[in-house]
């Protein structure tokens, strides 16, 4: 009977160790998530409604987290992009895309 108790105690001890390890891992994952949120940067874009399709495709292509925050007085859609430092180039690409849009708009306005 003493042998069974030792075996039962060992199994119970292994369960306690496993539970403790699982709690530690979950705690570390929560810390990582919090840490990542703290390191996120944001940039807000004002995207003309007639350019939203191209802009959305670029967001999806670069897999950037974004949120639509509303519309400004001119009817442009306000989009906030959240990104980490290593994604700066992708956000810069979005800025260039909008700059190109506005340059093309100015050129087509001059042609008329």
Domain edges within the chain: 1-38, 40-111
Q: How confident is the model at residue 40, as a pLDDT?
A: 87
**Predicted local distance difference test score (pLDDT) of residue 55:** 96
Strand partners, 79: 45, 68
**Is the model's pLDDT at 36 over the cut of 90?**
no
Say what the pLDDT of residue 51 is.
Answer: 95
- pLDDT category of residue 15 using cuts at 50, 70 and 90: low
DSSP 67: E
Query: 1 or 24: which carries more pLDDT confidence?
Result: 24
Average model confidence (pLDDT) across the chain:
80
The 10s digit of each residue's pLDDT in 53-107 is: 999 999 999 999 999 999 999 999 999 999 999 999 999 999 999 999 999 988 8
CATH placement of domain 40-111: 3.30.70
The yes-or-no verdict on residue 23 having pLDDT over 90 is no
Closest by Cα among 38, 79, 42 to 60: 79
Instruction: Output the furthest CA–CA distance in the chain (Å, rounded).
Output: 98
**Distance from C-alpha of 1 to C-alpha of 10, rounded to nearest angstrom:** 14
């Amino acid at each position: 009977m003493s042998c069974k108790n030792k075996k039962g105690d060992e199994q119970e001890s292994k369960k306690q160790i496993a539970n403790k390890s699982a709690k530690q891992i979950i705690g570390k994952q929560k810390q990582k998530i919090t840490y990542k949120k703290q390191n996120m940067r944001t940039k807000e874009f004002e995207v003309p409604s007639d350019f939203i399709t191209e802009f959305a495709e670029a967001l999806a292509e670069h897999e950037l987290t974004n949120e639509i925050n509303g519309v400004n007085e001119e009817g442009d859609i306000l989009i906030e992009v959240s990104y980490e430092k290593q994604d700066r180039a992708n956000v810069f690409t979005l800025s260039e895309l909008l700059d190109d849009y506005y340059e093309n708009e100015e050129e087509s306005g001059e042609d008329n």
